[in-house]
Structure 1
Amino acid sequence: MDYIELDLHITPNKPWVDIAIANLAELGFDSFVENENGLLAYIPKNNFDESIVNEILIDIMDVEVVYQSSTRLIPHQNWNATWESEFEPVHVADKLSILAPFHEKKDANDMQIEIMPKMSFGTGHHETTQIMCEQMFDVNFHEKKVLDMGAGTGVLAILAEKLGSKNILAVDIEDWSAENIVENSHRNDCSYIESRCGDIDCISENGFDIILANINRNILLSQLPVYSSKIKKGGTLMLSGFLEGDVDILTNEASNNGFEFLGKKNKDVWFSLVFKKR
């Protein structure tokens, strides 16, 4: 699959890079690399509409923000080289390091996840993945049944197994993400992760103890009723992939679907929420 790379230079950088990522994700951009100039955003060529992207950028940028954008075609066979040139180790607090096979491991934390970066969102660089990883250390995963929705590279599913789960379903709508989850699970010697390509309607199972969903606001809002039907009473729901302005909307909708608010966490402008099923 060919991709379009959007190279977006933004001044000032914060919080406008984060706001751009949130809005571009709504348009179908599925991978992002932040850099000193702004960000690189990637979308399948067949899904790219330059006029809509330009309209969104004009709409979201403040009058004091200066930005420039350019695009180029990334042939499928060049994707790994692109990621390898940008991908840096990620250290989550002092507990976890997310690395690629070509990274040095001498300065890594004791717990490590090795990811071969491909096209999937969730390498650990984005703030929402880091927040979810941090919060997962505060949850009991031992022998728990886990659903990772919008699993991307499988980072959260792999961490769930490392934290003690032996029954994990990792779901992503993209076939190459599902394949990447399998590869990364094997790379981390994981035995309890099932990778499945599909949307929320591909999940026939019920009785999950923990549901992880790092997606975006609109998808989370549409899927909350299904999460409610799939999770056990007393189960833990962890959501991320949204900005501060979305917190109240998601909290209220979660409450309407039988969830009790437990807490929130943020990194820069990105937030995560934790709930318990009533």
Structure 2
Amino acid sequence: MESTVTASNPERASFVRVRFARSGHDDDIQAFFIGQDALGFLEDEDWWEAYFSATLWSEVERGMRDMFTRMDITTEYGVDEFKDENWNALWESSIKPIQVSESILITPSWHQPPAGYDGLKLVIDPKMSFGTGYHATTRLMLRLLERCIRKDDRILDVGTGTGVLAIAGVMLGGKHADGVDIDEWSYDNAMENALRNGTETQTRFFHGSMEHASGQYDCILSNITKLDNMDMLPGFEALLSPGGRMILSGFYSTDVDDVRTVAEQLGMRCQEEIREDEWSAILIIREDA
């Protein structure tokens, strides 16, 4: 059964929120949404939500329903629409601190970390952009980044979203990070979050894509879709310094072999894979040091 609830004045809406009760189809639907330019996700034990520009939702919903038919998915979902000025209040009522690992916490500015916590605190206030820590792929990226970052690394974050990965990279010891995103909301939000975390002199953000990358990078981060990662791997390889590391996510564990094959064809090696639920992140090494 499918059910949809919409606002009464959709022509005045700027954004759409779609909410699902937890089911066995969550990962399939989320993967589809990531490929359809979802602006953000929220997850709880019993439900999860995705956010879209109101101008895109009709097309996304048609594609989603087609997918439901092809995959014989039966689920319920609700949709409501809201304007720009309601965004901050909506997120402030929903976002809570997320413990990514023993030593990394993501928290919005209006929450305090748990008493006694003395690890890395990433203060991230989302403004309709991906990277709140509420999606498994963000957490997986951060866990691998924490393990493989090196002092004075030069970092490139592709699809930077809130800027959380670029900001974390320099707070974990990197020297400088460039972040790029085609979403203007993400560009503005990443700049604001860099200021919140005191990394504004070590991070640069650009509205656009790989055309803003310059020189070579020691660590490249890309939490986008499987197909986008595969398409962009040759460009990543050209920008990666000898001995450099690349962390990729945004895809299912069942898709890892496809991504690994492209990396190996480019002469790189997949060193590590970590998983959360059905999602994976992989660490790729360029070995011609």
- Asked whether the 8 Å contact 1:118–1:180 carries over to 2, the reply is yes
Distance change >3 Å, CA 61–CA 132, structure 1 → 2: farther
Maintained 8 Å contact 2:149/2:169:
no
User: Residue 51 of structure 1 aligns with which residue?
Assistant: 62
Map residues 85-234 of structure 1 onto 2, 5 A cutoff.
85-107=93-115, 108-190=117-199, 191-203=201-213, 205-234=214-243
Q: 2:90 aligns with which of 82, 89, 93?
A: 82
Which letter maps to 2:191? V
Does residue 247 of structure 2 align to residue 238 of structure 1? yes
Q: Residues 57-115 of structure 1: CA distance to partner in whole angstroms, max 9, x if unpaired?
A: 333455xxx41122221211111111112111111221011101111224344210101
Check the 8 A contact 2:234/2:266 in 1, yes or no.
yes
SS in 1 for 2:76: strand
Gaps of 5+ in 1: none
Report the number of matched residues. 271
1:238 maps to amino acid: I
Q: Shift of residue 212 of structure 1?
A: 0.6
The code of the aligned residue for 1:78 comes to N
- Residue 27 (structure 2) aligned to one of 4, 9, 18: 18
Q: 1:265: Cα distance to partner?
A: 0.3
- Find the residue that maps to 1:67 and give its secondary structure: coil
What's the Cα RMSD here?
Answer: 1.6
Cα distance in 2 for residues equivalent to 1:273 and 1:60: 27
Q: 1:8 to 1:106 in 2, by over 3 A?
A: closer
* 2: CA distance, partners of 1:151 / 1:104: 24
Identical-residue share of aligned pairs (%): 28
Change (3 A) 1:253 1:84: same
The answer for unaligned runs of 5 or more in structure 2 is: 1-12
User: Which residue matches 2:9?
Assistant: none
Provide TM-score, normalisation by structure 1: 0.92
Separation of aligned partners in 1, 2:142 and 2:131 = 11
